[in-house]
Structure 1
Amino acid sequence: MLPLPVWGLALGQALLISGNILLVSVTALIGQQIAPSASLITLPVALQFLGLMGVTLPAAHLMRWLGRKIGFLMGNIIGVAGAILAYNSLVIESFALFCLSTFLLGMAIGVGQQYRFAAVESCQPQQSARAIALVMGGGVLAAVLGPNLAVWSQGFFPSSEFIGAFAVLVGLYVFTMLLIVSLPLKKPSAAEQQKGGRSYAQLLRQPILVAAVASGSIGYGIMVLVMTATPLAMKNLGYEFSDIASIIQWHVLGMFLPSFITGRLITRFGTVPIIQLGCALLLFCVLVAQLGTSYWFFWVALVALGVGWNFTFIGATSLLTLTYLPNEKAKVQGMNDFLVFGFSAAGALLAGHLQHWLGWEMLNLVMLPPIAFAMWVVWISRRSHKRNAASSA
């Protein structure tokens, strides 16, 4: 049985992702309404991921010294400030202030990405894969809650279609703050706070670390790019917002519902095969996108994209936990999330451009080379690991 803090962190992750999905559902469409040019439509989404990327290293080191609880509370306070600013920016229709608000909301989401690592610290080592999967499984609640909140909140303020979404977001962050206060999270140990450890250059000589970072970064970047382009592609094809929200909801279910078995699959079959299976599902998404643009083609492609992301991201996170000593934890976790969400920011920024220039089908084809590269890096790391094991024997 997993400890209580892991379940609490899973709920916190669910609320965090609910807010994130709500943002994904409305941010590109808000950009379409108030951006000064078509090329800037997805800039608020990209700034969200830049805020997320920029906070990862500072947040990891802050929690190393002050602890998870203080770090998570600070992240949620930033989230409240960002949601209030977004609300007011839409009232006065300021694109610049809206971009700043999504940057702050990205910072809040970036701090929350440490929930999965906090869950590992709250359980026994043999339970780590299941703890990561359970925390990510909190996204199942978010898959139901997030898109529905986006739809329901449309009627809160008749003067603006999307203002209500950010009023809801304030409530989510305040509730999460109360949850974090109630959880008995561990304080940093003396070993974690000890100075020293290997340099980044030494750490990156581990093929297993390179594979974890590469597969996690590429898988996340591709998922964000295709997911961000989806509402724009569907809107251009004449779909209603309710249909778009429904596709995003099913996509998010694909992202998080498998989490309840992903940990067990990793335990049974190994981390590398699960990451490779995730990459194969990303390839399947690209294939389906070439076959048609009816609702069900979008549905199958986005569900495959979600499940593929789940296997690559949880597999990569599980692999990452094997690559560092206690006093290297903040350094490695921060570096990993910086690169993962750097790729996510690039994907979000490129989504609008690629959708506008290339269209839906060609945009997906561009994803083939990075997916193939991720599969190759993971395969090479497995060969290297087997060779080293054989040498040691």
Structure 2
Amino acid sequence: MTMTPVHMQAHGHDLHATGLVIAVHIGAMYLPSPITGILVDRIGRIPVAIAAGGTLLAAGTVAATSPEDSVVLLTLALALLGLGWNLGLVAGTAMITDNVAADTRAKTQGVVDVCVALAGAGGGIASGMVMAATSYAALSIIGGVLALAVIPFVAFGARPKAGTAA
């Protein structure tokens, strides 16, 4: 997300196009939350977390292969990126809630929220360095592959407590 405006500006897109792409991305990060919550409860935390990884890979692939002049495909890529983030955040939060004792749940969730924010900040910094050293396409593929690499950890590492949704 952080390098898309830089990429767009480098290829002659105006502020309106860049604003549209980022607005769609931010909307995709938050607006699906009620539906994502329903999916997490109905089909399970692990399947939604795995869907997050697949969605993030799709976002990276679309971003990497989009022609530099295609606002439509960049918008799609950033919408998928926001949706993948949403799926992962809601599923992950549910997994934490399921596996942390009630008396430490708020503290744990607070620590996790700080870690998510720090990871985002670190990712923003790293994305600039990666893009400067390589390209927007390489950054997009690296991000998608990293998201995909999380799937085995989610699939095999997440063990819900007895009596909770999987």
Q: Into which bin does the TM-score normalised by the smaller protein fall?
A: 0.7 to 0.9
- 1:327 is paired with a residue whose SS is coil
- Alignment partner, residue 373 of structure 1: 149
- Alignment partner, residue 271 of structure 1: 45
Tell me whether 1:232 sits opposite 2:6 in the alignment: yes
Tell me whether 1:334 sits opposite 2:110 in the alignment: yes
Q: Distance in 1 between matches of 2:65 and 2:88?
A: 24
Where does 1:176-255 land on structure 2 (aligned, <5 Å)? Answer: 227-255=1-29
Task: Give the length in aligned residue pairs.
Answer: 160
- Alignment partner, residue 291 of structure 1: 65
Match of 1:316 among 63, 70, 92: 92
Where does 1:1-393 land on structure 2 (aligned, <5 Å)? Answer: 227-292=1-66, 293=68, 294-382=70-158, 384-385=159-160
Q: Distance in 1 between matches of 2:94 and 2:134?
A: 35
Summarize deviations over 1:190-224 as a string: whole Å, max 9, x none. xxxxxxxxxxxxxxxxxxxxxxxxxxxxxxxxxxx
Deviation at 1:327, TM superposition (A): 2.8
Deviation at 1:309, TM superposition (A): 0.7
Identical positions, percent: 28
Structure 1's 338 and 260: CA in aligned 2 closer, same or farther, altered over 3 A?
A: closer
Deviation at 1:312, TM superposition (A): 0.4
Return the TM-score normalized by structure 1: 0.39
Alignment check: 8 A CA contact 2:54 2:148 kept: no
Bigger radius of gyration, 1 or 2?
A: 1
Aligned letter for 2:65? L
Alignment check: 8 A CA contact 1:233 1:359 kept: no
- 1:239 is paired with a residue whose SS is coil
Q: Distance in 2 between matches of 1:371 and 1:241?
A: 29
Q: Distance in 1 between matches of 2:13 and 2:50?
A: 34
Structure 1's 368 and 250: CA in aligned 2 closer, same or farther, altered over 3 A?
A: closer
Alignment check: 8 A CA contact 1:275 1:312 kept: yes
- 1:260 is paired with a residue whose SS is helix
Q: Distance in 2 between matches of 1:340 and 1:290?
A: 25
- Alignment partner, residue 92 of structure 1: none
Deviation at 1:369, TM superposition (A): 3.9
Q: Distance in 1 between matches of 2:143 and 2:102?
A: 36
Aligned letter for 2:102? P
Deviation at 1:372, TM superposition (A): 2.6
Q: Distance in 1 between matches of 2:107 and 2:31?
A: 30
Alignment check: 8 A CA contact 2:21 2:75 kept: yes
Alignment check: 8 A CA contact 1:283 1:368 kept: yes
Q: Distance in 2 between matches of 1:247 and 1:255?
A: 13
Report which stretch shifted further, 260-269 or 350-359: 350-359
CA-atom RMSD in angstroms: 1.8
Q: Distance in 1 between matches of 2:126 and 2:88?
A: 21
Higher relative contact order (CA 8 A, sep 6+): 2
Unaligned runs of 5+ in 1: 1-226
Return the TM-score normalized by structure 2: 0.87
Aligned letter for 1:284? A
Q: Distance in 2 between matches of 1:346 and 1:285?
A: 20
Unaligned runs of 5+ in 2: none
Structure 1's 368 and 302: CA in aligned 2 closer, same or farther, altered over 3 A?
A: closer
Summarize deviations over 1:137-186 as a string: whole Å, max 9, x none. xxxxxxxxxxxxxxxxxxxxxxxxxxxxxxxxxxxxxxxxxxxxxxxxxx
